[in-house]
């Protein structure tokens, strides 16, 4: 049977992936005046932040409490607050960062859709990018171009056939740098064997918080130092620990994998808890079927352990589980600039800054039982424009967790506030480049920074 051939689409800017970065990129590109198409493989917008049930966007402030992410990221939080889906930025209970930003993940997803519609973005859902066509230029590398462009992106709606998209510029916000991979790009290989593990987060309902918080108050040695415990009527709490209860479950054979700490994002007044505990190694860009089956086993063991071992857990039930394996780290592109651990730790300034990041370097190890290895940052670092610009193709930009960064630097840049920031910068750059008729690498960065400042982006000097 032949496939259906759909009409060829010719947007000025194509954004692939509607997660944090892709949503911000598409809104920014459309608002800058480009005809913008957003293509998403799943049936919804929001990506990992919404569908992994994180319930916390993080990274909006530096350690001193100065805001570092504004623009679209802040507009999403503000709209969510107006609808009552977030309290906004609140102090972090364990001072891991200055603030955390609780969000209801479904309402977040809806608010992002509202802003996409207001911006005039065209959206294709359930549409998977499966191929690209490239062309070598005719000596078009004067002024720094490589001469290789992506001339078409092929997307497929299963059962409805393929659609050819011929965009001016592509912004790859797929998390896995899918467009770069299909275009034959090479990737960062600084720590090829050290990719962060994947997880399936789960939400419990029916948690009785009075006994749970009493346990936390009576066992300060089983929680991170200086944890704010709060009361059963509180709206939010953020608890890290429960290592003693985990050890008992492990010793009794109830938990087949070893963990020494759990992150429990609590909504006490609702009796809900999001647990970050499961963990397995994942391969960048793979289908993750095996990982999902392993993590599903861990999810069910977690629920049973919680009922039996955690005070207040007896009537807990699995209310929701993430709809995909949560990927912390995947392919990282090779850009014209690479963000390094030193840049991040030194709070390095860049004349080509298009935003800022400040989240600690947060690296989880697939082979250790602890929650993570973290390095706090004294101050914010600049996001140089070049980490968004592909080094090997003339019309490819990237944003989100796949930006050009080393393994360690990515441990900070992957956080959602920073993904909003890189998305907004890449989307604005793509629109300006296509409207000015130049390759992204030849864009007047001063003009881009001025636009970003007008948009409320912080740190675009």
52 interacts with ligand FAD by CB under 6 A: yes
266 interacts with ligand FAD by CB under 6 A: no
Determine the length of the chain: 461
Nearest approach, Cβ of 367 to ligand FAD (angstroms)?
Answer: 17
424 interacts with ligand FAD by CB under 6 A: no
Joined tokens for residue 62? 């530096």
How buried is 308 (Cβ within 10 angstroms: 0-12 exposed, 13-18 middle, 19+ buried)? middle
Please say which residue, 109 or 395, places its beta carbon nearer to ligand FAD.
109
Q: Which of residues 75-134 bind ligand FAD (CB under 6 A)?
A: 128-129
Nearest approach, Cβ of 332 to ligand FAD (angstroms)?
Answer: 11
Query: Please, how many CA atoms are within 13 Å of residue 230, restricted to the half-sphere of its CB?
Result: 18
Please say which residue, 283 or 444, places its beta carbon nearer to ligand FAD.
283
34 interacts with ligand FAD by CB under 6 A: no
Query: From CA 104, how far away is CA 119, in angstroms rounded?
Result: 23
330 interacts with ligand FAD by CB under 6 A: no
Query: From CA 177, how far away is CA 160, in angstroms rounded?
Result: 25
328 interacts with ligand FAD by CB under 6 A: yes
Among 41, 80, 177, 264, binds ligand FAD (CB under 6 A): 41
Burial code of 356-373, b = ≥16 C-beta within 10 A, e = fewer?
Answer: bbbbbbbbbeeeeeebbe
Among 355, 400, 411, 440, binds ligand FAD (CB under 6 A): 400
Among 29, 58, 76, 389, binds ligand FAD (CB under 6 A): 58
Nearest approach, Cβ of 231 to ligand FAD (angstroms)?
Answer: 23
Among 31, 35, 40, 172, binds ligand FAD (CB under 6 A): 40
Query: From CA 218, how far away is CA 454, in angstroms rounded?
Result: 51
CB atoms near residue 43 (< 10 Å) = 9
Beta-sheet pairing, 198-199 with 56-57? unpaired
Please say which residue, 173 or 291, places its beta carbon nearer to ligand FAD.
173
Among 12, 13, 15, 19, binds ligand FAD (CB under 6 A): 19
Nearest approach, Cβ of 444 to ligand FAD (angstroms)?
Answer: 26
Q: Which of residues 172-211 bind ligand FAD (CB under 6 A)?
A: 173-176, 178, 199, 201
Among 12, 32, 36, 57, binds ligand FAD (CB under 6 A): 57
Query: From CA 100, how far away is CA 103, in angstroms rounded?
Result: 10
Q: What share of the chain is helix, strand, coil (3-state, %, to 5)?
A: 35, 25, 45
**448-to-242, 353, 390, 424 alpha-carbon distances in Å:** 47, 10, 17, 11
How buried is 158 (Cβ within 10 angstroms: 0-12 exposed, 13-18 middle, 19+ buried)? exposed
Joined tokens for residue 402? 């796949």
Nearest approach, Cβ of 48 to ligand FAD (angstroms)?
Answer: 4
- Residues of the shown chain interacting with ligand FAD in the complex, contacts defined by CB under 6 A: 16-22, 39-42, 47-49, 52, 54, 56-59, 128-129, 173-176, 178, 199, 201, 326-328, 400-401, 414-416, 419
């Amino acid at each position: 049977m032949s496939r259906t051939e759909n009409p060829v689409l010719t947007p000025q800017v194509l954004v692939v992936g509607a997660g944090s970065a892709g949503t911000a990129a598409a809104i920014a590109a459309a608002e800058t005046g480009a005809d913008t198409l957003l293509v998403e493989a799943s049936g919804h917008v929001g990506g990992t932040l919404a569908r992994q049930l994180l319930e916390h966007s993080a990274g909006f402030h530096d350690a001193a409490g100065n805001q570092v992410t504004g623009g679209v990221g802040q507009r999403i939080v503000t709209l969510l607050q107006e609808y009552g889906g977030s309290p906004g930025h609140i102090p972090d209970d364990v001072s891991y960062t200055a603030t955390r930003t609780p969000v209801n993940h479904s309402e977040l997803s809806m608010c992002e859709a509202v802003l996409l519609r207001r911006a005039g973005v065209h959206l294709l859902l359930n549409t998977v990018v499966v191929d690209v066509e490239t062309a070598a230029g005719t000596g078009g590398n004067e002024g720094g171009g490589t001469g290789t462009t992506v001339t078409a992106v092929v997307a497929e709606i299963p059962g409805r056939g393929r659609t050819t998209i011929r965009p001016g510029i592509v912004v790859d916000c797929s998390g896995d740098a899918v467009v770069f991979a299909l275009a034959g790009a090479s990737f960062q290989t600084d720590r090829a064997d050290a990719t962060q593990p994947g997880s399936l987060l789960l939400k419990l309902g029916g948690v009785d918080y009075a006994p749970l918080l009493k346990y936390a108050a009576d066992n300060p040695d089983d929680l991170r130092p200086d944890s704010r415990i709060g009361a059963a009527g509180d709206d939010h709490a953020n608890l890290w620990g429960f290592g003693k209860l985990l050890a008992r479950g492990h010793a009794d054979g109830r938990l087949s994998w070893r963990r020494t700490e759990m992150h429990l994002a609590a909504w006490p007044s609702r009796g809900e808890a999001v647990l970050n505990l499961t963990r397995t190694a994942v391969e960048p860009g793979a289908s993750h079927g095996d990982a999902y089956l392993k993590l599903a086993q861990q999810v069910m063991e977690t629920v049973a352990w919680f009922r039996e071992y955690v005070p207040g857990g007896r009537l807990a039930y699995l209310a929701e589980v993430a709809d995909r394996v949560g990927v912390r780290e995947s392919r990282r592109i090779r850009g014209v600039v690479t963000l390094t651990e030193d840049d991040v730790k030194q709070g390095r300034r860049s004349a080509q800054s298009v935003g800022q990041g400040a989240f600690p370097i947060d690296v989880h190890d697939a082979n250790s039982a602890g929650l993570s290895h973290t390095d706090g940052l004294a101050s914010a670092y600049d996001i140089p424009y070049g980490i968004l610009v592909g080094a090997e193709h003339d019309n490819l930009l990237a944003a989100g967790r796949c930006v050009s960064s080393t393994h360690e630097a990515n441990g900070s840049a992957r956080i959602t506030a920073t993904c909003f920031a890189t998305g907004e910068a890449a989307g604005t750059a793509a629109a300006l480049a296509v409207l000015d008729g130049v390759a992204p690498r030849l864009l007047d960065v001063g003009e881009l920074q001025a636009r970003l400042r007008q948009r409320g982006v912080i740190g675009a000097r």
